[in-house]
Amino acid sequence: MISIQSLSMTYPKNGSLAPVFQDLCFDVPEGQFLAIVGPSGCGKTTLLRCMAGLTQATSGGVLFNDLPVNRPSLGLSMVFQDSVNSLFPWKTALENVVFAMARGATSSREKKEAALGYMEMVGLARQSSSYPWELSGGMQQRVALARALAGGADTLLLDEPFASLDAQARAELEDLLLAMWGGGQRTFVIVTHDVDEALYLSDRVLILGGEATTVQGDILVDLPHPRHQLTTRGDPRFSELRVAVHQHLTHGAGREAE
């Protein structure tokens, strides 16, 4: 469980402090698939980095399983938007996955076998010995997902992981992500600016926005599982939820314009 407790972030701008987000409060229960949406520049990535322990907030705190997050912990893993820049280019796909595993704990042969298991899970067993630069964007992101899990994390923080992919690869990766989540075996938090993707994937959508970003809306996504690219997106409930999310988003934007 991740607990965000009146988290605020400011950054210096023209000699004074400008707020990025203000007084965010929410919990992510274990096994939830939470999507965070909001306009670009609203601090979604910064929020995710605070949750990962990569960035320190100005005030407030993040608790992960009741412990304060001050630095990255192995239970929480982050998947970045630009997988080509987060994979080690001098290592093969498999070596990238092995890299994430704790050193010394098991023999390198065992690690390699376990890593192969993760590669199979993301559908890349045949590309194990390829280098990242030999793989397509979608495949690179699959390697990044495998690596994130190989580190032993059961909570993944995903920062617009599919933003640079084409529609086909994106749909495949979304379904892979749902399979990895396994109906609540892991906790996923995804940041995206794509409302449809947020609804398709998640249990719950958190809408951020406003001049100094606050939580604009918190919507439970009661779409049935398993999700299916055509039927789920064609569900009348999907449209209703989409309208609700958009209302919250435009409400935040409206306040910004005032």
Partner 1 sequence: MKRAHRSHAERLRGCAFVAFLAALWSGVCASGVVPEGQLPSPYEVLRAFIAESPRLPAQALATLNRTLLAFLLGGLGGLGLGLGHGVFPLFRKTTHLAIEGLRPLPSVALIPLGILLYGMGNQLNIAIAAFACAWPCFISARDGVRGVNPMLLDTARTLGLGRAQTIRRVLLPAAFPAMVTGLRIALGIAFAVEVSVELVIPKQGLGALASTAALAGESGLLYAAILALGLVGLLLNHLLRRATQRLLRSYGPQWSGGA
Residue with tokens 């439970």: 220
Residue of 123, 131, 184, 251 that binds partner 1 (CB under 8 A): 131
Three-state SS for 187?
A: strand
Residue of 31, 60, 151, 184 that binds partner 1 (CB under 8 A): 151
Q: How many residues touch partner 1 (CB under 8 A)?
A: 26
* Among 166, 168, 167, 190, CA closest to 178: 190
Contact 120, 128 (CB under 8 A): no
Query: In this structure, how many other beta carbons lie within 10 angstroms of the beta carbon of residue 76?
Result: 23
Enter the tokens of residue 130: 């390829």
Choose between 71 and 109: whose C-beta lies nearer to partner 1: 71
Query: Is residue 76 near partner 1 by the rule CB under 8 A?
Result: yes
Residue with tokens 């298991």: 117
Choose between 24 and 143: whose C-beta lies nearer to partner 1: 143
Kindly state the smallest distance separating residue 254's Cβ from partner 1, in Å. 35
Contact 232, 200 (CB under 8 A): yes
| 34-42, 89-97, 110-118, 248-256 -> range binding partner 1 (CB under 8 A) | 89-97
DSSP 226: S
Residue of 91, 112, 228, 242 that binds partner 1 (CB under 8 A): 91
- CA 126 to chain CA centroid, Å, is 26
Query: Is residue 108 near partner 1 by the rule CB under 8 A?
Result: no
Residue of 24, 50, 51, 78 that binds partner 1 (CB under 8 A): 78
Q: Measure Cα distances from 71 to 54, 57, 75, 98, 233 in Å.
A: 6, 12, 12, 22, 38
Query: Is residue 67 near partner 1 by the rule CB under 8 A?
Result: no
Choose between 17 and 74: whose C-beta lies nearer to partner 1: 74
> CA 145 to CA 135: how far, in whole Å?
14
Kindly state the smallest distance separating residue 240's Cβ from partner 1, in Å. 37
Query: Is residue 52 near partner 1 by the rule CB under 8 A?
Result: yes
Query: Is residue 74 near partner 1 by the rule CB under 8 A?
Result: yes
Q: Indicate the residue type of 88.
A: F
Q: Indicate the residue type of 84.
A: V
| 4-12, 70-78, 109-117, 118-126 -> range binding partner 1 (CB under 8 A) | 70-78
Query: Is residue 89 near partner 1 by the rule CB under 8 A?
Result: yes
Query: Is residue 100 near partner 1 by the rule CB under 8 A?
Result: yes
Query: Is residue 82 near partner 1 by the rule CB under 8 A?
Result: yes
3-class SS shares of the chain: helix, strand, coil, % to 5: 40, 25, 35
Residues that bind partner 1 (CB under 8 A): 52-54, 71-74, 76-78, 80, 82, 85-86, 88-92, 99-100, 102, 131, 133-134, 151
